[in-house]
Structure 1
Amino acid sequence: MTPGRWDAVVVGGGVGGLTAAHALRGRGLRVLVLEAADRCGGPVRGGALVRDDGARLAVDVGAESFASRGTGVADLAAELGLDVVAPSGRSAWIQAGGRAFPIPAAGVLGIPARPWAADVRRAIGWPGVLRASADRLLPAGRVDASDLGALVRSRYGRRVTERLVAPVATGVHSAPLGALDVDAVAPGLRAALAREGSLGGAVASLRALAPAGSAVRGVDGGVHRLVDELLAVLSGGTVVGGTVSGGTESAGGTVAGGTPLPPAEVRTGARVVGISSGIASGISVGDGGSGERSGWVVRLADGAPVLADRLVVATAGVTDGLLGPAPRRPAGSDVRLVTLLLHAPALDAAPRGTGVLVAPGGSDPGRPAGAKALTHATAKWPWLAARVAGVFGPGRHVVRLSYGRLGERTPEPTVAQAARDASVLLGVPLAEAAVEASDAVRWAGTLPPPTPAYRAAVAEHAARAEAVAGLALTGSWVAGTGLAAVVGHARAAAAAV
């Protein structure tokens, strides 16, 4: 193989791109990954809490869980020698209308299956219950599915929409309900509504199909370990999770039968400025013969072209010259994530379960909190609680506070402000002196909302790509939000080329 030529090139080093590269390398192909940023992983990232005495613990400072639907992420973790773990089983809480209450059980994105249940009644009151109960009486066709908020409001009314669905769905997707496409954020809900004839019946049917237990899972040691291990395996190094290179089933070094796998190359700071077919560029890329492919020429900002027999594009905005202009992604919100290590034995009782989601405008006017969400990470993840106690001592807790809503100016909270917000949301006195370590990360333009118009435009763009041999698109821009969607889509994209 000539220098600068690869069996496969993957543009984009997020989890989707790395997963596709891992699958391609597993077929014995020489793979190059090109990532424009200075690090791989996208919104999956690890950081560290470091105390003044040098005690240190790695933590997630980006995504910290994934949806348990499907087995794609769990299968990938197993290949990498990582353990998938369940959360504690505690409920999270909502703060809306100036008060806090547990998220009702048996729901989808905050949409309850039984609006007359006691935990739902506590949240929305009898007027809300009576309005939501009309769902069973309304004709099945009386629904506005133009966006998630419109759908819930048309069947359940305003209180369910504002007090339950808004804090949960906007907390997950960092966008207002009106910007969320129903099929993208709640797959199967519209079909279930048509089948069951009511929103409550639809939610109940989806819950019945879901695996028992929590709807999310994590990784022992943090979700960021997926990126660490993918990079280790791609480079041909020993898997940190314990898989030994050289065996017939090793993720690191061989395929079944003992054939060594070539190491992949991952380049960061490699910005792609153009892609064209080999034929269009006047360059022969294929291997010759009647089955020759045209191949691809990938041009970088530094001017050095890269040749590829197969191309997987896992980031938006680089296929315009091939497929026509890609749909413009809606603006995402700027999110500030502050992680605190607290010495607060009062939190041992997990007074707000696994955390608090704040409805837009839902803070207590007398004690407003600037954060839109708080995760009590040590209450949510038993593995983390054990490691925090082992590294930092008893009575220590890790909380994550998220700031920034779409269309609003993102706050720049100090550690003192974050501690004050944690105190308000958790209902426990916390002085700034309780903070023993902290970390702050800003995510710019994160989680662009999957609007209905954008999803339709992406589907059209992806259909054009499917008609081109040797080319596949993947990544969150086409697969949708969340690791569960991205990993499965990336494997399919790799198989398609």
Structure 2
Amino acid sequence: MGSTPAGAGTALVLGGGISGLLSARELASAGHQVTLLEAGTEWGGCVGSHTVAGLTMDSGAESFATRTNAVAGLAAELGLAGSIVPPRPGGAWAQLPDGPRELPKTGVLGIPANPWDPEVRRSLGLFGTLRASLDRLLPASVGTSDDVISVAALVKARMGTRVLERLVAPVVGGVHSADPGLLDVDMVAPGLRNGLRRHGSLAAAVSAQRRARVASSAHKGLRQESAGAAKAGSAVAGLERGMHTLVTALVNDLRTAGVVLLSSTPASSVRRTPEGWRVTSAGASFDAALLVVAVDGPSAVELLEDAVPALAGRKPPAGPDVKLVTLVLDKPELDSRPRGTGVLVAPQTPGIEAKALTHATGKWDWLAAAAGPGRHVVRLSYGRVDGAGEQPGGPETDAELLAASLHDAQALLGVVIGQEDVLDWDVVRWQGSLPFAAVGHRARVAEIRQACRAAGDLAVVGGWVAGNGLAAVVSDTIEEIGTLGR
């Protein structure tokens, strides 16, 4: 096969996940002729779909954080403003070693805005609440003086071990699939330490972020509870019929704009040319003046390190492997939503291998209506990185995952669930695709991006540089592509 010639107004994007699709859209809007290469057969990356028991639903990300207008604004531009929906009220629970607890009024990573709230006290006990209250008496320098600090170190220093183990660890493990001792707080909770410096305590910083989120949600017209009463898990929204509809709208928009979309076209090499960049894929070559690499971190550095020698030795670690089991159950006993929108599991909880359970039909009205009376969708996720940086052993085969999910769903929901209740089920594997924002990762990302900018007409985007979650990815991608070629 021949090569696609480069021109001054040409751009090439590698990777068809959300960051790649959005990069192509931004470049096309700026007047570039864009070609997008995707190694797989599907678009959207971790924002995918599958059909189980006749229900088409999300196979990956199913919501977005409402702390910014990034995702809602993109959805509106794509004609989906009327499809934005909040989850049902009620919030999530935590499974602790001594039993289930409703997650209290928290704002960021499970950190309480008020340690003396009755729900927080029930989780922490009197001693834990007293220790957490010391946060307001400590100088603001505690937890903010170091250039880099983990989530665990910040929470333990400000509020103590009970807050870390009983509130923060379940949330961080469920959302980021990692021990909070491994994660850079500035990557997974941007602005939190700046808020601590400004307001004088971690609780006050959390409270300020919650007020900002509620105000943002109100501005977007989303139904939310008040800042003082909002439940854990309520600072998100979704799309009616699923987040995967955002991918469909993006792809349609790109085709309308004339973007060339090539699936099953993995990039094998990247090199500099006098005109810009040349990418080789299965005997074909593609030339463009601008290049955007929107694949996972390890793959991005591997592709670019020959063309950009400054990247040598800067390959980031892969994210944790996550297995998502979806069960469609005929179980009217779940109509009462016994655990609200779902359960996050504290890592030290014995006898449960799942890190989180989402009661999807208990969370989203549109899915409950599609499922019908007495039918419920439950999603359980497996896989996390522990405090030693290892991925603990757990169920691997589909059969093992089904057995574990039935056992864990029964334990977490408090309802007898057996194989006879399963109408259909599916397993989706995300291998290394979840961003792993380890301590030191932010500095490594900054160095990688600086090396790419110095190479000229090159950008790297995606969750591994932006942080976990659609809101972070969308905001970062738009900002980064806006500077490309300048």
TM class by smaller structure: 0.7 to 0.9
Of residues 270, 287, 295, the one that matches 1:307 is 287
1:309-334 Cα offsets, whole Å, 9 max, x none, are 22212122222233322632223222
1:432-487 Cα offsets, whole Å, 9 max, x none, are 21111111112212324211312101111212323444222211122121111111
Structure 2 segments unaligned to the other structure (5+ residues)? 216-223, 225-233, 386-390
Of residues 357, 366, 371, the one that matches 1:388 is 371
1:13-60 Cα offsets, whole Å, 9 max, x none, are 11000011122223343211112233332211100112xxxxx11011
Of residues 241, 253, 256, the one that matches 1:221 is 241
**Is 2:279 the partner of 1:298?**
yes
Per the TM alignment, residue 218 of structure 1 is displaced from its structure 2 partner at its CA by: 0.8
Q: Secondary structure at the match of 1:298?
A: strand
**Match of 2:264, as an amino acid?**
G
Distance 2:318 2:28 in 1: 34
1:375-403 Cα offsets, whole Å, 9 max, x none, are 000111111111111xxxx1111110111
Distance 1:24 1:203 in 2: 36
**Match of 2:187, as an amino acid?**
A
Per the TM alignment, residue 153 of structure 1 is displaced from its structure 2 partner at its CA by: 0.4
What's 2:219 paired with?
A: none
Counterparts of 1:355-370 in structure 2, within 5 Å, are 355-363=342-350, 368-370=351-353
Distance 1:78 1:57 in 2: 25
**Is 2:413 the partner of 1:426?**
yes
**Is 2:150 the partner of 1:147?**
yes
Distance 2:444 2:106 in 1: 33
CA contact (8 A) 1:166 1:177 kept: yes
Distance 1:395 1:71 in 2: 35
Q: Percent identity?
A: 48
CA contact (8 A) 1:334 1:410 kept: no
**Is 2:248 the partner of 1:233?**
no
Per the TM alignment, residue 296 of structure 1 is displaced from its structure 2 partner at its CA by: 1.8
Of residues 15, 24, 27, the one that matches 2:27 is 24
Distance 2:311 2:457 in 1: 20
Q: Secondary structure at the match of 1:439?
A: strand
What's 1:408 paired with?
A: 392
**Match of 1:167, as an amino acid?**
P
Q: Secondary structure at the match of 2:181?
A: helix
1:229-259 Cα offsets, whole Å, 9 max, x none, are 22222223xxxxxxxxxxxxxxxxxxxxxxx
Per the TM alignment, residue 410 of structure 1 is displaced from its structure 2 partner at its CA by: 3.3
What's 2:231 paired with?
A: none
Distance 1:274 1:37 in 2: 17
What's 1:118 paired with?
A: 118
- Aligned residues: CA RMSD: 1.9
**Is 2:361 the partner of 1:378?**
yes
What's 2:200 paired with?
A: 197
**Is 2:322 the partner of 1:335?**
yes
Q: Secondary structure at the match of 1:221?
A: coil
Distance 1:374 1:217 in 2: 18
Of residues 442, 454, 477, the one that matches 2:441 is 454
**Match of 1:89, as an amino acid?**
P
Structure 1 segments unaligned to the other structure (5+ residues)? 51-55, 237-260, 280-284, 286-294
CA contact (8 A) 1:340 1:435 kept: yes
Distance 1:277 1:434 in 2: 57
For the pair shown, the structure with the greater C-alpha radius of gyration is: 1
Distance 1:322 1:486 in 2: 25
Per the TM alignment, residue 77 of structure 1 is displaced from its structure 2 partner at its CA by: 1.5
What's 1:276 paired with?
A: 271
TM-aligned CA distance change 1:414 to 1:183, over 3 Å: closer
CA contact (8 A) 1:336 1:411 kept: no
Of residues 469, 480, 484, the one that matches 1:493 is 480
Distance 1:414 1:29 in 2: 46
Of residues 290, 294, 311, the one that matches 1:325 is 311
What's 1:178 paired with?
A: 181
CA contact (8 A) 1:378 1:384 kept: yes
Q: Which stretches of structure 1, 4 residues or more, deviate above 6 A after TM superposition?
A: none
CA contact (8 A) 1:420 1:432 kept: no
Per the TM alignment, residue 269 of structure 1 is displaced from its structure 2 partner at its CA by: 2.7
CA contact (8 A) 1:128 1:160 kept: yes
What's 2:426 paired with?
A: 439
Farther-moved stretch of structure 1 (424-433 vs 373-382): 424-433
Of residues 58, 62, 66, the one that matches 2:60 is 62
1:245-292 Cα offsets, whole Å, 9 max, x none, are xxxxxxxxxxxxxxxx4x22222232223323322xxxxx3xxxxxxx
What's 1:291 paired with?
A: none
Per the TM alignment, residue 416 of structure 1 is displaced from its structure 2 partner at its CA by: 4.2
Q: State how many pairs are aligned.
A: 443
Distance 1:328 1:359 in 2: 31
Per the TM alignment, residue 414 of structure 1 is displaced from its structure 2 partner at its CA by: 4.4
Q: Secondary structure at the match of 1:210?
A: helix
1:328-360 Cα offsets, whole Å, 9 max, x none, are 222322221111111111111111000000100
Distance 2:140 2:289 in 1: 51
**Match of 2:360, as an amino acid?**
A
Distance 2:439 2:406 in 1: 38
**Match of 1:67, as an amino acid?**
A
**Match of 2:450, as an amino acid?**
A
Distance 2:60 2:23 in 1: 21
**Match of 1:325, as an amino acid?**
L
Distance 1:278 1:331 in 2: 30
What's 1:71 paired with?
A: 69
CA contact (8 A) 2:107 2:209 kept: no
TM (normalized to structure 2)?
0.87
